[in-house]
Every structure is written in structure tokens, then in C-alpha cells.
């Protein structure tokens, strides 16, 4: 099985400098253009189905791919982003730093959870469970449109490649399953941290 693990295009919260995560926002015009370019890159990859997060930015990215590739989309609720920011969700980052410096400091470690946020343990459990379910499906090649949090979790907890230094809009991580194990074959618009 080959999986194209993809981050959605640029969203409104990226441009407005808001704490995203559980914030459900649309793609920007630039994000739509990025998704169009992504669709062109994937035209010859023989993708059979797109699994996507229920959030708007992932949904809109997936629909643009579907229009070009002509393949079905299936929404999977647990591909959604982690509610990492709790009560800060949707707040301007500059304003949040001024008002809640302690909470901002806590957010520097992904294992921490502030008030109203999803714990990393719970998030990790749902990402791994969802990944295992998808990985046993009867497809040769699929695309997953999701978010930075789930992508980082898959690399950290399942593929065991470590942390990402950078994950851009419409980043593509190409994964291959052989003898029951996944490996990272190719990475585009993203970069692993050097150990």
C-alpha cells in the first residue's frame, strides 16, 4: 500500500495569525491555488480514494483534488486536528502571548495540555487507531488530507522517523507499506529535524 499523507492548503487562520487547531476555517485563495497545483502533481499516482479530515480546510483541499483526479472522498472524523490550543483556539497569537504567557510557554511541548485542550495521550490514541484502520483497507494507493498534528503524530509514533522541522501548506509525505511496516519514501514541502 502507498499512502500520500498530505497537509491541507493555506487557511485563513494561517494568514490572520490565529491559534488554529480545532478552529474550523476555510482555505484562502492562495490555499485553493496550492491545492490545484497539488492535484496536478498527483494526477499520475493512481490514487483510488481520498480520506479527509472533517474540517473545512481539509474538505476544500480534498474537493479540489477530487475535481481533477475524479476519485471518491471519504470523511473520517478522527483525522481532524488536535484541539491543542483549548481556550486559546481562534485567538490572535500576539494577543494570546500578552494575555496568557504561562499557557503559551506550556504549548512549546506538544505533550502538555492547557485548559480545554485534548491531551496528547488521547490524540495519539485516536490517530494510531485511525491509521491502523486505514492501513488494513483493501486499496493499493490512497491519499489522506489532514493537518500538521496528525501528520507529526504518524511520523513520531508509527513511522518512527522523528520530528519535523518544517511542514508547509500542501506538503506531501509519501509512505509505503511493505511486510506490514510503513516507511517514508519521499517528502515534499516538509523537512525532518536532523538528529
Q: Residues with catalytic annotation?
A: 8, 81
Backbone torsion region of residue 46, taken as left when φ is above 0, otherwise alpha when ψ lies between -120 and 50, otherwise beta: left
Angle at 148 between CA 147 and CA 152, to 5 degrees: 125
Answer whether 122's CB lies under 8 Å from 113's CB.
no
To which residue does cell 522517523 refer? Answer: 161
Which class for 75: exposed (0-12), middle (13-18), buried (19 or more C-beta within 10 A)? middle
Beta carbons within 8 Å of 68's beta carbon, 6+ residues apart: 36, 39, 40, 42, 43
Beta carbons within 8 Å of 130's beta carbon, 6+ residues apart: 76, 78, 79
Q: φ, ψ for residue 93 (rounded to 5)?
A: -65, -40
Amino acid at each position: 500500500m502507498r499512502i500520500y499523507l498530505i497537509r491541507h492548503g493555506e487557511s485563513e487562520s494561517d494568514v490572520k495569525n490565529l491559534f488554529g487547531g480545532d478552529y474550523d476555517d476555510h482555505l484562502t485563495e492562495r490555499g485553493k491555488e496550492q491545492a490545484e497545483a497539488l492535484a496536478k502533481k498527483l494526477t499520475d499516482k493512481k490514487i483510488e480514494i481520498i480520506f479527509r479530515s472533517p474540517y473545512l480546510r481539509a474538505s476544500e483541499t480534498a474537493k479540489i483534488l477530487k475535481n481533477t483526479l475524479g476519485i471518491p472522498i471519504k470523511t473520517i472524523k478522527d483525522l481532524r486536528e488536535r484541539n491543542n490550543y483549548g481556550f486559546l483556539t481562534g485567538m490572535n497569537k500576539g494577543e494570546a502571548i500578552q494575555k496568557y504567557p504561562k499557557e503559551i510557554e506550556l504549548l512549546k511541548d506538544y505533550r502538555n495540555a492547557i485548559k480545554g485542550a485534548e491531551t496528547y495521550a488521547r490524540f495519539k490514541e485516536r490517530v494510531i487507531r485511525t491509521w491502523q484502520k486505514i492501513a488494513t483497507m483493501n486499496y493499493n494507493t490512497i491519499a489522506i488530507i489532514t493537518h500538521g498534528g496528525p501528520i507529526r503524530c504518524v511520523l513520531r509514533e508509527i513511522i518512527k522517523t522523528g520530528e519535523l522541522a518544517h511542514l508547509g501548506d500542501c506538503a506531501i509525505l509519501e509512505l509505503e507499506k511493505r511486510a506490514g511496516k510503513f516507511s517514508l519514501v519521499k517528502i515534499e514541502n516538509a523537512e525532518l529535524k536532523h538528529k
